[in-house]
């Protein structure tokens, strides 16, 4: 059972954050809220998403699992105003989600969850370094790197966090000291990441005032930020490129 109402922009952003990783997801619904874990088809990036009941204007649910085509739902939310309220109700018998927004009533057919890739296991990683920065700064560094290369290096040396991209002839580097960062736990970290993935991941992170990066040496990066004033959280885990030669 699910009966809920939520701000349209918040739902739109949540869907966009998931669409970075996959097109179809299993939503795990419980009394506490909604959660998703999904991994991209190439096993390189994972998204972990939760939106607690407090994020909703109205929330009533029992434990269940539904399969959703993210493209369809983001298409229909495209017509909604930022301030609209989206009302959702699950019809379990017919496996349809009834959505009311801006005076329009949609009946959205759900996907059979068993046809969607199962929730992945999340690797337990020891990531020694933590960098907290503004989402805009991260996005800016990624955009600059895209112009030069397909990959971006992220690391910490002493008390400076750096992001760097090297092309065949050109190079771009953004350094941020302790005073420019919101927080820094320094240590040994330097890993290379594919911009194909990073560019997509930083888009939803752009709106967040605080984005936490957890890093290691040649290790995956964990990118965390809060949504819905702290009533929800998005995390991405991205595997590194290891170029030994």
What residue ranges bind other proteins (CB under 8 A)?
Answer: 23, 39-46, 120-121, 123, 125, 150, 194, 219-220, 237, 239-243
Residue with tokens 């888009």: 203
Minimum Å gap between C-beta 31 and other proteins is 30
Task: Return d(Cα 75, Cα 233) in angstroms, integer.
Answer: 23
Pick 8 or 19: Cβ nearer other proteins: 19
Residue 141 and residue 201 in contact, taking contact as beta carbons nearer than 8 Å: no
Pick 2 or 38: Cβ nearer other proteins: 38
Minimum Å gap between C-beta 181 and other proteins is 26
Helices 8-19, 195-205: inter-axial angle, 10-degree rounding: 170
Minimum Å gap between C-beta 37 and other proteins is 12
Q: CA of 215: how far to CAs of 85, 156, 190, 240, in Å? A: 38, 9, 7, 10
Residue 160 and residue 189 in contact, taking contact as beta carbons nearer than 8 Å: no
Pick 45 or 228: Cβ nearer other proteins: 45
Pick from 160, 150, 158, 10: which is nearest to 80 by CA? Answer: 10
Minimum Å gap between C-beta 6 and other proteins is 28
Pick 126 or 158: Cβ nearer other proteins: 126
Tell how far CA 161 is from the center of its chain: 22
Pick 40 or 137: Cβ nearer other proteins: 40
Minimum Å gap between C-beta 60 and other proteins is 35
């Amino acid at each position: 059972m699910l009966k809920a109402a939520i701000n349209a922009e918040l739902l739109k952003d949540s869907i966009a954050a998931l669409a970075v990783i996959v097109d179809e997801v299993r939503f795990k619904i419980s009394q506490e809220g909604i959660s998703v874990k999904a991994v991209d088809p190439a096993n390189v990036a994972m998204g972990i998403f939760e939106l607690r009941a407090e994020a909703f204007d109205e929330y009533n649910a029992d434990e269940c699992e539904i399969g959703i085509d993210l493209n369809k739902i983001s298409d229909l939310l495209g017509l909604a105003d930022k301030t609209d309220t989206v009302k959702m109700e699950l019809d379990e018998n017919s496996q349809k989600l009834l959505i009311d927004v801006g005076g329009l009533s949609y009946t959205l057919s759900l996907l059979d969850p068993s046809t969607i890739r199962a929730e992945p296991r999340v690797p337990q990683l020891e990531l020694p370094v933590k960098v907290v920065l503004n989402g805009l700064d991260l996005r800016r560094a990624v955009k600059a790197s895209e112009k030069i290369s397909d990959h971006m290096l992220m690391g910490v040396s002493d008390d400076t966090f750096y992001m760097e991209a090297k092309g065949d002839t050109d190079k771009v580097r953004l350094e941020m000291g302790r005073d420019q960062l919101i927080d820094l736990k320094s240590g040994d970290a330097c890993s290379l990441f594919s911009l194909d993935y990073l560019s997509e991941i930083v888009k939803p992170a752009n709106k967040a005032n605080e984005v936490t990066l957890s890093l290691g040496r040649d290790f995956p990066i964990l990118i965390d930020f809060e949504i819905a004033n702290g009533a929800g959280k998005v995390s991405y885990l991205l595997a590194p490129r290891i170029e030994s030669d």
